[in-house]
């Protein structure tokens, strides 16, 4: 127990809200990446493309109407300013959400710590996880959505962005924008394999074949107990 809490004090991650019960250990702890949150949760790329298209249309429209170059530049500046402001606000929100978030995998549960204005913690016992999947992205990061047997207790709005997109009827909590998603998936697969539930054991066996082959040595952003 003391070793676990000493680990949190010397790391960049948050300390757990309460001490772990005797016999439970921390397997991994991490955060979503800023880039992943900014691009896939706050859609900064799409916003930049939108303003870029508006800017191109305005420049072409003003030029086709015979405006002077100086007037065209001034007209473009009126669009560039709100574009920069919008992107800056979204980037700031992504930074705040990343700063407030922390995922912890123990031998018994997964803890989601989140909330910018009101910090909260959600516990998901490993025995309640019915399925898990790994979605890898081109930059090497990935998401791990978790199917839980009691999905009615999961609030989509409360947990966003740490939840699978557009699963409104049966919300699935999600470890999102993980920079070392394959390693986390392998650790989760191993932890699920140690649970008594037959479904979890079967899931672990399938996940091991698909995920462990892509896992590499432990990275600096992972912390083993």
pLDDT tens digits for range 100-126 = 999 999 999 999 999 988 889 999 999
Instruction: Note the helical H segments in 101-197.
Output: 156-159, 181-193
Q: What is the pLDDT of residue 198?
A: 40
Which CATH number, 2.30.29, 2.60.420, 2.30.30, 2.60.120, labels domain 21-32+103-214? 2.30.29
pLDDT above 60 for 214: no
pLDDT above 80 for 4: no
For the segment 76-82, the average pLDDT, to the nearest whole number, is 84
Q: What is the pLDDT of residue 13?
A: 47
**Which of helix, strand or coil describes residue 103?**
strand
Distances (CA, A) of 24 to 21, 98, 141, 200, 216: 6, 26, 28, 18, 25
Contact 103, 31 (CB under 8 A): yes
Q: Determine the Cα–Cα distance for residues 215 and 192; give it in Å rounded to an integer.
A: 17
pLDDT above 90 for 96: yes
Report how far Cα 116 is from the mean position of its chain's Cα atoms.
15
Q: Which pair of tokens denotes residue 10?
A: 């010397």
Task: Work out the pLDDT band at 3, boundaries 50, 70, 90.
Answer: very low
pLDDT above 50 for 65: yes
For the segment 22-29, the average pLDDT, to the nearest whole number, is 89
Residues 142-199: tens digit of each pLDDT: 999 999 887 666 788 889 999 999 888 888 999 999 998 999 999 999 898 866 544 4
Number of Cβ within 10 Å of residue 184's Cβ equals 25
Q: What is the pLDDT of residue 152?
A: 64
Q: What is the pLDDT of residue 196?
A: 56
54-79 as b/e, with b when 16 or more CB fall inside 10 Å? eeeeebeebeeeeeeeeebeeebeeb
Q: Determine the Cα–Cα distance for residues 58 and 51; give it in Å rounded to an integer.
A: 10
Mean predicted lDDT score pLDDT of the chain: 79
151: Cβ–Cβ under 8 A, 6 or more apart, which residues?
170, 171, 172
């Amino acid at each position: 127990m003391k070793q676990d809490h000493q680990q949190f004090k010397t790391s960049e991650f948050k300390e757990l809200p309460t001490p772990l019960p005797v016999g439970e250990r921390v397997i991994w702890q991490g955060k979503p990446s800023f880039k992943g949150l900014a691009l896939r949760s706050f859609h900064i790329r799409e916003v930049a493309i939108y303003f870029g298209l508006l800017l191109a249309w305005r420049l072409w429209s003003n030029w086709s109407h015979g405006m002077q170059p100086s007037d065209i530049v001034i007209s473009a500046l009126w669009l560039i300013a709100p574009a920069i402001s919008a992107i800056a606000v979204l980037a700031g929100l992504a930074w705040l959400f990343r700063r407030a978030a922390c995922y912890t995998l123990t031998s018994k549960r997964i803890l989601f710590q989140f909330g910018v204005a009101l910090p909260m913690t959600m516990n998901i016992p490993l025995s309640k996880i019915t399925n898990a999947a790994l979605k890898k992205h081109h930059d090497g990061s990935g998401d791990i959505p978790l199917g839980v047997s009691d999905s009615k207790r999961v609030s989509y709005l409360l947990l966003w962005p740490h939840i699978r997109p557009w699963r409104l009827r049966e919300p699935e909590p999600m470890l999102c924008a993980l920079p070392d998603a394959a390693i986390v998936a392998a650790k989760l697969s191993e932890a699920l394999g140690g649970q008594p539930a037959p479904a979890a054991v079967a899931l672990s066996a399938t996940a091991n074949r698909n995920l462990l082959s892509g896992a590499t040595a432990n990275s600096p952003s992972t912390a083993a107990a």
